[in-house]
Amino acid sequence: MQILDSHLNRDHLEVIFKEAAAFEKSPYIVTGAQRIILATVFYEPSTRTRLSFEAAMLRLGGNTISIPDAKHCSAEKGETLEDTVRTVSQYSDILVLRHSLPGAAKLAQEFSECPIINAGDGSKEHPTQAILDLFTIQKHFKKIDGLKILISGDLMFGRTVHSLLNLLENYEVEIWVDSPKELKLRGNWTIHECATTVGSPHPPAAEILKQVDVAYMTRMQKERWPVGMTQKPPYFSINKNNVDTMKEDAIIMHPLPRNDEINISVDKNKRAKYFEQAKNGLYVRMALIKMVLGL
Ligand code: NCD
């Protein structure tokens, strides 16, 4: 099994969810994992993704080596991604890579002596985040089919959204998207657009918020914007004034880090699932490491 992008089918996902749920119940050392070395090579900042992968490997009984700031490592001396991957993959059994170049994980796999896991490639994909997002949804609702989902924020540059939309293609869901018009989603997914994206007469995000089961919020990806685009355009947020307009059983998700698209006053609301979502990342990544290594 490879996780270079989010082209996983429903069967794959169900196996991952089952494994992750088992790890959540009882984190245990997997036979054969004790000798494993997982390398994390991150050319972009990370808190949750890198540390949950490393924690997952340690929980499975293996070890980790890491270049947390690869941009300022040998890359600063002119080393290419290919050469770094060639080298690090000789020291490890599995390599988790984050890079700003779309398609970086696939490129790296060509030069790697061990399996690569894509931990984010520019604004293109972040498949393991999307898997843990779906695991969180499945855990809460005990299903994914039939749900109504609002995805809001910087949909042009937010990679987690692109991977999530790919995985949601496996299910019968109704998806609404909302973004500033400068940061619209590009791609061929079956979606409905809110007014903040396309202008009236479409319903505004505030109206759709009242109807959805899942509100998936994302931050403005300022670091990826074209030169010259410096001012944040107005965008939708969840705050103390609108959170209780949501359905009782609805959940609010965010890949994190959040800015002000979810006000901190919402954190104690029963619908706020974003920190639990981050915790689920540990179990999902334990499952993924086990499966990629065939343990
Ligand atoms: C996301 C990412 O790196 O794409 N963070 C994460 O991995 N949880 C989201 C973001 O940076 O906005």
Q: What strands, in cross-sheet order, belong to the sheet with 94-99? A: 63-67, 37-42, 94-99, 116-121
The CB-based long-range contact list for 229-233 (8 Å cut-off, 24+ gap) reads 229/182, 233/180, 233/181, 233/182, 233/183
Catalytic residues: 48-49, 77, 98, 126
Q: Please tell me the distance between residue 31's alpha carbon and the centre of ligand 1 in angstroms.
A: 31
Tell me how far apart the alpha carbons of residues 27 and 284 are, in angstroms, rounded to a whole number. 11
222-250 exposure pattern, b = at least 16 Cβ within 10 A, e = fewer: eebbeeeeeebeebbbbeeebbeebeeeb
The answer to whether the CB of 214 falls within 8 A of the CB of 222 is no
pLDDT tens digits, 103-137: 999 999 999 999 999 999 999 999 999 999 999 99
| Dist. CA 257 → ligand 1 center (Å) | 7
What's at 255, amino acid-wise? P
Residues in Cβ contact with 112 at an 8 Å cutoff, skipping those fewer than 6 apart: 85, 86, 89, 95
pLDDT band, very low/low/confident/very high, at 231 (cuts 50, 70, 90)? confident
pLDDT at 168: 98
**Whole-number pLDDT of residue 28:** 75
The answer to whether the CB of 120 is under 6 A from ligand 1 is: yes
- Cα separation, 52 vs 54, whole angstroms: 5
The rounded Å distance from CA 49 to ligand 1 centre is: 8
Nearest CA to ligand 1 atom 1: 255
Ligand 1 close to Cβ of residue 123 (< 6 A): no
Instruction: Give CA–CA dist 159/255, Å, rounded.
Output: 10
Closest C-alpha to ligand 1, atom 8 = 255
| Angstrom distance (rounded) from CA 8 to CA 134 | 12
- The separation between CA 41 and the C-alpha centre of its own chain, rounded to angstroms, equals 17
With the most atoms of ligand 1 within 8 angstroms of its CB, the residue from 256, 259, 273, 279 to mutate is: 256
**Beta-carbon contacts of residue 242 (< 8 Å; ≥ 6 apart):** 206, 209
Report the nearest atom of ligand 1 relative to the CA of 278: 8
**Percentage of the residues of the chain whose pLDDT score is greater than 90:** 92
pLDDT at 156 over 90: yes
Q: What is the DSSP string of 88-152?
A: HTTS-SEEEEEESSTTHHHHHHHH-SS-EEEEEETTTB-HHHHHHHHHHHHHHHS--TT-EEEEE
Quote the CA–CA distance of 119 and 113 in Å, as a whole number.
18
Q: How far is the CA of 175 from the centre of ligand 1 (A)?
A: 21
What's the predicted TM-score (pTM) here?
0.97
* Polymer length in residues for the chain: 295
Q: Best of 52, 100, 124, 129 to mutate for ligand 1, by most ligand atoms within 8 A of CB?
A: 129
Residues 18-30 have pLDDT tens digits of 999 999 998 777 8
pLDDT band for position 1 (50/70/90)?
Answer: confident
Task: Tell me how far apart the alpha carbons of residues 286 and 281 are, in angstroms, rounded to a whole number.
Answer: 8
Nearest to 293 by CA among 84, 96, 139: 96
Please compute Rg for the chain using Cα positions: 19
